[in-house]
Structure 1
Amino acid sequence: MSLASTDIAKEEIQAFASRVKEIRDRLHETVVGQDETIDLLLTCALTGSHALLVGVPGLAKTLMVKALAAAFQWKFSRIQFTPDLMPSDITGYELLGKSSENGSPQLTFRPGPVFSNLVLADEINRAAPKTQSALLEAMAERHVTVGGQTHHLEEPFVVVATQNPIEQEGTYPLPEAQLDRFMMEIRIGYPKPEQEKEIVMKTSGATPAIPAAAFDRETFLQLRNLVWSVPIPENVAEFAVQLCGATRPDEPTAKQFAKDYVAWGAGPRGAQSLVTAAKAGALLKGRTAPTVADIRDVAVPVLRHRVVVNHRAIGDGVTTETVIKNLLKELE
């Protein structure tokens, strides 16, 4: 899908905005409030990227993801991560059975829950590293390997993982390599009092209904391809690279704040994710190309899990979010 013609681009963007509004409306039929969270989730979904949801229990994280899958008419699966979860519980396994032709023993592959369009990895940090790494291959390569055979995952394939920030006993921190596979870390806050009242009124009776599909898989793939085809202005790419470089304390371009408080900065995938998210954000706002302002809008959720603060930062109460916001001010 080309954006070479301005007239065609405007028509495509209007159609895009109309369809995304339809998705938003469907999600708000089920989820009360959480406008920013829904927009960030849509940004990840519309770019075929993975998301990490962090929030205390009871903030409708699971309901939000199920509603998103239903609105896109995607195959959905939920994996409850526990310490005894095995890699085969995610990827699938080979089962010895009889061949239908001659009755001789034959290994048959039974796909696991990862063979879905949208996978909800609930409390992902409760599983052992060996199990987490099984999901890492699927997230990074879009395929799984079982018994020496590679099995490809159907497009689209998006993983939304959840973490509970208040329970740390019996958890295994996600390695940086896996965290980097998530485009965004989306933190969900408590609802406002009026929203909480609406939630209580809505949920005191029957279970909230999941929204009907807004459009089919092929239509979604067209929308995703439109996001991918958005051109990147050179100054926007330069700003994304400059921002990521500013988070690396050993780089010549690093700011003093980063040198004081950062142990490890964002890698090249951080800059790639900034630009991709900005492209989706521009389309959501009805524009044909992203601006530096779009990079700034998504900088915190895209970079906060890619920047590791040092012991001095912990002692001074400086968080990764503080670092990113400070660097954005310095880069004005």
Structure 2
Amino acid sequence: MTRAKIFIDGEAGTTGLQIRERLATRTDIELLSISADKRKDNDERKRLLNAADVAILCLPDDAAKESVSLIDNDTTAVIDASTAHRVADGWAYGFAEMTADQAGIIAASKRIANPGCWPHGLIGTVRPLVEAGLVDAATPLTYNGVSGYTGGGRKMVEDYEADADAAPLMPYALTFKHKHLPEMQRYGLLTKAPLFVPTVGNFAQGMLTFVPLQPEMLATGTTARQVHAAIADRYAGSTFVTVAPYAAVDKLPVLDPRSQNGTNNMQIFVFANEASGQIVLVSVYDNLGKGASGAAVQNLNLVLGRAVDLGLRAAA
């Protein structure tokens, strides 16, 4: 097997470091690295970007766009972990389980936009319901949850780890202009953006997300079991996205946002009060796994034609 050349542009950041760690022991690839003193040297970056079979961009949006502009060949594939290209024409969206053919679309593409951490929980639960006709695309949805502070990048990590009295929970984006909203709306197949209230928790990594559904938001006569079945059918046979059996329970230990840490797994739950018709869709995953670096490595495997789980771990 020919070793593929991989360049991580921005390997010193949180996502880049996590990707490098997942690739460190792989024998099927060669990691190209830029010396610390040349990270802002565009000539050296251009050389490495064009020498790579796959370039993974772990950069701010403007820098990611600049990196793409430096590629002057038609062979280097790009996986961009920034927000820059997530709803751009010509870029495949890197949520491989989003549709039955999405993995194939990613594998055939030279330009892949890695999803943000938050959108997985909304898109992964809502899109199957819209496609099944159980939720109308114009439904005014709300979406909320909690994520570990590593989702905010290096500065947030440094701030939390330096502050022994940091708040246990801190809602943010309260002007409702979060940068992930465009991709949530587009790939959730929604005609309007959801009302999204994210919260950062005083723990390093992990995510727990919620989409509440009132009975009026569902097609007439829709039951919770039908909602569960539509989501379960979408992910049947998936390596990384699993749907827990439908059950009436008051609480579950696995709903700890950290329960999937270290894996590329996303676990989905459907909870309901069948008498009232109220439902909540819950997702648990690692914001640094399926929500970032794990998804990037999964997309890399697809582009290279490798086993989808190579270098990744799914939860037991």
TM-score, length of structure 1 as denominator length: 0.26
Which has the bigger relative contact order, CA under 8 A and spacing at least 6? 1
Q: Which has the larger radius of gyration?
A: 1
Judging by fraction of residues, say which structure has more strand. Answer: 2
TM-score, length of structure 2 as denominator length: 0.27
Judging by fraction of residues, say which structure has more helix. Answer: 1
